[in-house]
Amino acid sequence: MTHIKNNFINKIIKHAILKNPNCKIRTRFPPEPNGYLHIGHAKSIYLNFNIATKYNGICHLRFDDTNPKKEHVKYINAIKKDIKWLGFDCYKNPKYTSNYFPQLYQYAIQLIQNNLAYVDELNTQEIKNYRGSLTKKGTNSPFRNRSIKENLILFEKMKNGMFAQGAMCLRAKINMKSPYIILRDPVLYRIIYSEHHQTKNEWCIYPMYDFAHCIVDALEKITHSLCTLEFMDNRQLYIWILKKLNFIQKPPKQYEFSKLNLEYTILSKRKIQKLIDCKLVDGWGDPRLHTISGLRNKGYTKNSIKMFCQKIGVTKQQNMIELSLLESCIRKDLNMTSPRRMAVINPIKIIITNIDKDHLEYLDAPNHPNIKEMGTRKIIFSNEIYIEREDFYEHVIKNYKGLVLGEKVRLKYAYTIQANKILKNANNEISCILCTLDLYKEKKLQQPIKKYNIIHWISTKNSIKAQFQLFDVLFKSKDIDQEKDIIEAYNPNSCIIKIGYVESITDHEHVKHAYQFERIGYFLKINKNNQCNTIFNRIVSLKNKYKTFIKSN
């Protein structure tokens, strides 16, 4: 499982071990429990966990729970479930930043005592205005020069709930003129009156991420703190805090890598929450989302997600990964394990006029084209069958793949038929095609396969009605961050439901995972709201289709 490409982080770690062979590698995966995990998080956990495993180290799962306003225990449970499903065992012994609140409070006092932190009374907007910008230096807060004693008293009062939310905060005393804006007296603690999912009402002051993260990394003896590139400048503060608090013996070091961006989707929890609030998706586990639960519900396997993480690698370059790469991973994983079946998702009926109405014939069909051990099954052939509407053409068109009126087509694993006549309903839609079976009398003399197109089909006597959920990308745009309005970019056809037929054998079979319905894709049978209807999710089609998708929209 530890197939890590030789990325730059791997090189850094190899070097660390070379320098100090006794060095025990420790990494951590630190999700904030304010949403569900997505495939970007999978990239991060795959990296952190596999680096630790490869070098005989440890990877902690640490809930970065410093903001009770946005966090919830339901997200903790969902995150643990996803990590367990992905097969990383760090879910068994999770850590919480909130476990360290007492120590963090003491470290804050230590900074105050060393005249390195002060209680400020500016409000959020004022702090922002005083901070300046990349081109304008910041100015000191009028509260910056309080005495150490006064700061200690005020900070204790903050802790004891004697001030309103937002009335005061604790700030590091660094340099309001630093070229790194993050070092212009960053806020370390703020007052929040919300119940915390772990510590309940014990605290009303909460540390900021930048203050807590580096200290907890040091307390947990993390060696390599791997995060994404937007934290590059924060590294200055990470180093400053650890130095000022005297974590000088082998302090943890932060390294940054680029975030995963994936075409046609969004991966930010905040934006996913917006989609949920606007009811554009049905919760965090909607199969159209690239959350871990969404992918799982759609039918993705953990192996396919890991294969994807392995293929994308880890670099410092910002880029956009093609969705087709993720899809090629799930196709590859399902190809070898999925039994083949036939299903018709947009049916049109064919009546074969030159065989008996009660004709019933059992034909052998292989369960897998390349794996003999998967055996064969019997499929029924009779005078009435369904084929896909899209496989029938009244007139010849260029590169047609199916059956044309007046011509012949081969039914997979069965015979050749010729379309002779179409019947239409009152709306002038084709309701039925009358065909004749080719060479029926000499039925063993089948036509050479190559001569005709081959299509899938299903006998009306062998089929059960089924619902097929055909998913498409959630957005019409490759790069959603470039779109002003994500609602505008939403693809209204991102879930199309079809009613068709599937071989009845699928109804009573115990499926290990997915089926490949020949010519249409890989499908997962699901139970929706305990209805007994047969419902299938399309996990992925058989071919990459995104280029045509964009053109046709």
Judged by the rule CB under 6 A, the positions of this chain that interact with ligand ATP are: 30-32, 40-41, 43-44, 64, 227-228, 259-260, 267-270
Residue 285 interacts with, from ligand ATP, Mg ion, none (CB under 5-8 Å by kind): none
Structure tokens at 250: 């082998």
Minimum Å gap between C-beta 38 and Mg ion is 12
Q: Identify which of residues 48 and 467 has a Cβ nearer to ligand ATP in the complex.
A: 48
Minimum Å gap between C-beta 328 and ligand ATP is 20
Structure tokens at 17: 């071990």
CA dist 352 to 59, 367, 404, Å?
Answer: 64, 26, 15
Residue 228 interacts with, from Mg ion, ligand ATP, none (CB under 5-8 Å by kind): ligand ATP
Residue 269 interacts with, from Mg ion, ligand ATP, none (CB under 5-8 Å by kind): ligand ATP
Q: Identify which of residues 237 and 334 has a Cβ nearer to ligand ATP in the complex.
A: 237
CA dist 255 to 139, 172, 219, 230, Å?
Answer: 31, 23, 18, 11
Q: Identify which of residues 48 and 506 has a Cβ nearer to ligand ATP in the complex.
A: 48
Q: Identify which of residues 32 and 384 has a Cβ nearer to Mg ion in the complex.
A: 32
Q: Identify which of residues 30 and 500 has a Cβ nearer to ligand ATP in the complex.
A: 30
Minimum Å gap between C-beta 211 and ligand ATP is 15
Q: Identify which of residues 83 and 111 has a Cβ nearer to ligand ATP in the complex.
A: 83
Residue 30 interacts with, from Mg ion, ligand ATP, none (CB under 5-8 Å by kind): ligand ATP
Tokens 């959630």 belong to residue: 474
Instruction: Give the integer Cα–Cα distance in Å for 293 and 282.
Output: 12
Q: Identify which of residues 29 and 413 has a Cβ nearer to ligand ATP in the complex.
A: 29
∠ CA 410-415-418 to the nearest 5 degrees? 60
Minimum Å gap between C-beta 489 and Mg ion is 24
Burial class (CB in 10 A: 0-12, 13-18, 19+), 442: exposed
Instruction: Give the integer Cα–Cα distance in Å for 366 and 451.
Output: 21
Minimum Å gap between C-beta 209 and Mg ion is 7
Residue number closest to Mg ion, CB atom: 32
Residue 44 interacts with, from Mg ion, ligand ATP, none (CB under 5-8 Å by kind): ligand ATP
Q: Are 308 and 39 in contact (CB under 8 A)?
A: yes
What is the total count of residues that contact Mg ion (CB under 5 A)? Answer: 1
Contact string 8-47 vs Mg ion (x = CB under 5 A)? ------------------------x---------------
Q: Identify which of residues 28 and 306 has a Cβ nearer to Mg ion in the complex.
A: 28
Residue number closest to ligand ATP, CB atom: 40
Instruction: Give the integer Cα–Cα distance in Å for 382 and 362.
Output: 9
Q: Which residues 6+ apart lie within 8 Å of 379 measured at CB?
A: 342, 362, 363, 364, 365, 413, 414, 459, 462, 503
- What does the longest C-alpha to C-alpha distance in the chain come to? 104
Nearest to 254 by CA among 233, 268, 279, 270: 233
Residues that bind Mg ion (CB under 5 A): 32
